[in-house]
Amino acid sequence: MKQLRAIVVVIVLANVAVLLWLLARQPADPSANKPADLADVLEPLVDDATMAAARYDLSDRKDELSIILISMDALRYDRTGFSGNPDGLTPNLDALAEESVVFHNAFSAASWTLPSHMSMWTARWPSIHRVTNKLTLLGADKMSETSLSAGIETFPNLLVQQGWTAAGFTGGAGVQGKYGFSRGFSEYLDDRPFAGMDYSSPAAIEWLNAHKDGGPFFLFLHGYDAHGQYALPEPRIQAIPYDGELDGSIEEQAKLREQGLAAIQQPGDDASLGDTLDDADAAFLEKVYDGKVRDADQRLGAFMGELRRMGLLDRAIVVVVSDHGDEFMEHGHVDHGHSLYQEQLHTVMLMRFPGYARRQDVQGVVRTVDLFPTLFDVLGMTLPTAIDGASLLPLLQGNETSRQAFAETDYRLFVHRRAIRDVQYKLVLDLQDGERRLYDLTADPTEQKDISSEQPRRTYEMEQALRGWMSSHGTNPQDYLGMRQKPIEIF
């Protein structure tokens, strides 16, 4: 017994010695002007995996935590610092990422604002919720304004039914309340089309100051700051080195978008500006876009500063997401909605959880339809059964690596396309002519080489999986072959 006791004493003394040695090696914290404390030293030594089962489980705080969802419309993932972009366009978003779970492979359900946001709101695919365009074709070229069916529930409204207060402050246009977004909201700002956060954020801050202590709330902040229909100030445009004829205005952007769509003459044609814009023009338009991204990031930073000032970061889950990206002639056109390439579907998604303000990078494929199911699961709330999204909590706790993702676009009835992707490969199917394009996203992340003829077996298997997915929710690909429709004019 004495020998055992002596061994235990030696082990304890050895551990104490190691801790003292580690403390001695730690440099003083220059910003705090004090030495590092024991917790700072121990934290890196404790493997997060030991707490994996409890990680991000906030169910014991569900009655006190709120949710703040910030949508930065049209923000491409590859513009962020955490994507590896060296241009310093998003310092505030990057700073938030250091306190958040960063999903590096988030995949949008659609490539433009209306259907992609509604898929987030409902965790349903666009062809399920059917809010795929602002107008719905009734037949014989008759159309009516689209609105979400009463039979499909939205997650914000589910929160309201559980006693939460919901308020939205948006840039209008594709997220107007009339499409179904404002269901259950006590306040929903959407009166200015294509407004930025310079318009929606002050109203959101005013609301937060009045309601931050009134119980759990869901706040939706949205802005079109990086969108083609949001104007960059003229002096900023003129400061961009460029000798071409473009002026970078929103009027020009709309004209180019429609001109490219007009190139779709036969079912299956691509939108194209190949005979109109050259590399210098595309580079100029990208610089205009980058200027908007900088402004969007500054406004995000100002809003996050207000959340800190109010003490809300300790009492709210903060999510930042983008609904889609934008194209700058990577595949022959500009804008978004007309295709399902990565520049339009690879989105920003990060979540900051109180008590877990340390960065975690998730590389596996996730879907924007998984956003609300994850939040509900983290808070211990019951998930609806009739949804297509799934909680990412198992992924965060190390029990899952990735998942298959799908995307759709029926943009203004110009195109009808579907896509499926896994970790490495992506297949895009044009429903109007049956063309299949397969891309290796690892070797060819910008999707410049169609390898469907080189890998016929993989192409066939992914196409069958995609067709099976479509059939599972009542979509028959054969119905689209050769389809020609009168396009919808509003966007």
For residue 53, the model assigns a pLDDT of 59
Instruction: Please write the tens of the pLDDT for every residue from 447-468.
Output: 999 999 999 999 999 999 999 9
Q: Distance between CA 223 and CA 346 in Å, rounded?
A: 18
Sorted by where each begins, the domain ranges of the chain are: 2-46, 59-403
For 329, the 3-state DSSP assignment is coil
pTM to 2 decimal places: 0.89
For residue 260, the model assigns a pLDDT of 98
In sequence order, the 6+-apart residues with CB closer than 8 A to the CB of 351 are: 100, 101, 103, 317, 318, 319, 374, 375
Contacts 24+ apart (CB under 8 A), 304-311: 304/92, 304/96, 306/205, 306/208, 307/68, 307/208, 310/208, 310/209, 310/212
pLDDT band at residue 6, thresholds of 50, 70 and 90?
very low
Give mean pLDDT, residues 329-333. Answer: 98
Lowest mean pLDDT among 98-107, 184-193, 288-297, 400-409: 400-409
pLDDT over 90 (residue 401): no
Instruction: Please write the tens of the pLDDT for every residue from 103-160.
Output: 999 999 999 999 999 999 999 999 999 999 999 988 767 899 999 999 999 999 999 9
Give mean pLDDT, residues 171-193. Answer: 98
Give mean pLDDT, residues 298-318. Answer: 98
Gyration radius (Cα) of the chain, Å: 25
pLDDT band at residue 52, thresholds of 50, 70 and 90?
low
pLDDT over 80 (residue 229): yes
Q: Residue 182: left (phi > 0), alpha (psi -120 to 50), or beta?
A: alpha
For residue 318, the model assigns a pLDDT of 98
For residue 27, the model assigns a pLDDT of 43
Q: Residue 30: left (phi > 0), alpha (psi -120 to 50), or beta?
A: alpha
CATH number of 59-403: 3.40.720.10
Q: Which residue has the higher pLDDT, 19 or 113?
A: 113
- Angle formed at CA 264 by CA 72 and CA 342, multiple of 5 degrees: 35
pLDDT band at residue 313, thresholds of 50, 70 and 90?
very high
For residue 33, the model assigns a pLDDT of 44
Nearest to 73 by CA among 409, 326, 342: 326
pLDDT band at residue 414, thresholds of 50, 70 and 90?
very high
pLDDT over 60 (residue 355): yes
